[in-house]
Structure 1
Amino acid sequence: MRFFLFANRFTDRVRPAEDVTAEINLTKGFVTGTLDHSITLGAFYGNASADDYNVTTTYLAELNNRPRLVNLVITNGATQTIVSRNGLLNAGAGYVNNRHEAERYAGYFADQIKIGEKFNLDIGFRVEKLTGTISRERTSVVVTDSTTANLSTALRDVIWGNGAFTKGKVSTTEWAGAIGGLYKATDRVSLYANFSRGYFFPELRSVSFNSLFQPSSFKAEIINQGEIGLKMNMKRVSLTLAGLATSLDNRRQVLFVNDGAGGFIERVNLVGTESYAVEGTIDYKITSNLRFSGNATLQSNQYSAFDSNTALIGKDVERQPGFLYNAGLYYDDGKWDASIFTNFTGSNYTSSSNTILLDEWNIVNLDMGYTLPIGNQSARFSLNVYNLLDEDAVTEGSPRQDNNQAANGAFFVGRPVLPRRIMARVTYSF
């Protein structure tokens, strides 16, 4: 008789958080010559703290639809090793006890300018400073059972906090700016363009410490984006078309990856990405009660920097499809309403190495209902079918395996599209 076993884990997390924010702004409108201004001046303050206490436990179970915990003892001649007891493999495979605090100050300015009847110009600027305080408990291996014979090392020992803390403080200041213009070519057609430089302060948890317990450099992630496009609003149809270019630099990519011993590690990569895309939307009124609506995105995105593995530069960003679209028909006459729409996601890679390409998938949803007047109130009886065609696909691989995941094994760990689901609903409005 053959049994299939699966070693898995769960993490008990306690993450209380507190935050205080305050913001004040002043808005003033005035006219200078032919320019109509609407100016905003503002300031922001934020103070947040969060604890992060995690204990990871591993266990052994059957690999089937109704798994049971497994006791495993390995016998090699006269020697026995207790690998799992009551299903427990390791009570303390991982331990985290961190506290992070952040204080932020920001000031900003914006001006919306109307120039004549056809042109609008928007400009904005923001500067912000963040100071972060970090405290992390170090760990040691502790023997919890020195009397029971034949215990495996994982059952005998746990990783636990030792009461010594690594502490540090980081600080950085960044700015963001944006400018955009809209030109009304006709009453129904507008052209626009905008450019922005923005920033994102990385998570404090992504800060690492060297052997001297000094924190790594803490720099903001910088995102630059430009967009040009047009908008049309006709009697029965409205549409938009836009081209975009985006670059992201100094991105701290935080991954939770298996450590090979039942726990996981936080891996931080410093990366950059570039993306180019074309997007379009359309809304067409077929009749007074029926319309078609849809949008599509065609994009190309690659890594432009990767500090831990330069061979990945030029690879596609994982879990980012090159083509997406949504489209549907929507009907509503006040009593009966119905919609059938589809969400399409193109093929995409499971990890930055681009070794496993997942197939595209398409989810069709159906929703229909009837609204019954009840005096001055109403009740809607509806039926919703998610994944009408019962599409079977994998949406992503295993983030915990990252580039170590293989496609030719006996099993593939991934997140599937949920199967068909039917739901009936009654909504009473009063």
Structure 2
Amino acid sequence: MTASPPSGPALRLGDTTARTLLAETTSAADANAVYERLRTRWGSIAPVDLEPGVPAWLVLGHSAAVGMLRDDRTFIKDPSIWNGHGAGLLGPTSTLHLVLAKTPKPTLADADGPKHARLRPPVDDALEQIDEARAGAISRRLCGMLIDRFEDRGRADLVAEYAAVVPFLVLSELDGLEPTQAQRLQEITRAIFEAGADARALTDELREIVTGHIAYSRERGTRDIAGVLSVHDNFEHDLERAQTLTAITAAATEALMAWIAQTLVLVLSDPRFSHRISGGRLHIDDALDEVLWRSTTNPNLMPRFAVRDTVIDGKLIQRGDPVVVAVHAANHDPLVQSDDPWDTVGNRAYLSFGAGAHRCPAPRLGRVVSRIAVAELLQRLQVTLDGDPDKVEWATSPWMRFPARLPVTFPSPREQAPPRPLFPTTAPPAY
């Protein structure tokens, strides 16, 4: 990243009103075309709107993205320094109240410096103790349970009935949550994001459930995620433990849902790719990697905020400006991409797991869950997309890329031909 103190005329965030809405980069049929249009017009960093009238910088270049993710002294996660506070930019129904909160939240995602260094080790410790074989067995069991619910119907929405459910169920069991607790937490989490600013009662209920579970796990001495967090000395109080458990579960659920759903879209809609998999030339892991290269699950990371004025590629990033790293655009930067589609096979140099202090803490576990979810479905059902593959409707989240729905049809069990192996029986190691 080429950054320097301001030394001359440079474009400021408020100098233009011709800003692309960030959600266009995730909801467009061809997301790459939107990023490339921005790159052609603005270079490695472009002005966008997080919501109409809420401006931010979008980092498109690979070098600038890596530099920003690693420079946690210049670009921090704490939204309390946002220079839009007090300007009335967020309406009562805005979905950005949690993202741009004026009062710092006691969460790992918003922590910087010494606080982040204190809160990150408990997360690493809790996730590293998970037995991957057990996580795999849990995933297979829960995937089978979900498929049982719709296989006789001959049709399903693989987002609402599968991809959005598997990760939450798996993480909830790894957290040690009872099914009724897990279901209520999922309902509350969704409602909080939909409610925007009017979510205090829901937030209070969420905190009560999770802090109660932390105390219960400590009393029982469990070795699940909640149990490890409940006794870790790095935390100052149970609120930090509860916020951390909530953040782990929510972040993993959203990311894995998008990874599973996008991989299913790829395999079901791209004949060249699906044929290479069924023919044994590629493994399901290659499909997962292809998604992270071609159309990553988290194309735009949550904002960071500049602590001082600096210039990047002729743009003046002022103190308090929100800056969003576009992982999708960075992965497609012409300086790091080639024209050979096979260059990405076995290549995991993408930025989809982030970089720097806030990088993903459990890429191996995420791959285990996603691989099993995709493989179990495709091995058990002969699934066909119900509709034009080129007209898949993408969700309007500015942060995640996933189909809003994925309707499929398949023969009932009595109509299906005898099953045959779809993937090689020996899986490569998970990285």
Asked whether the two chains share a fold, i.e. TM above 0.5, the reply is: no
- Greater radius of gyration (CA): 1
* TM-score w.r.t. length of structure 1: 0.18
Higher helix share: 2
Higher strand share: 1
Does 1 or 2 have the higher relative contact order (CA < 8 Å, sep 6+)? Answer: 2
* TM-score w.r.t. length of structure 2: 0.18
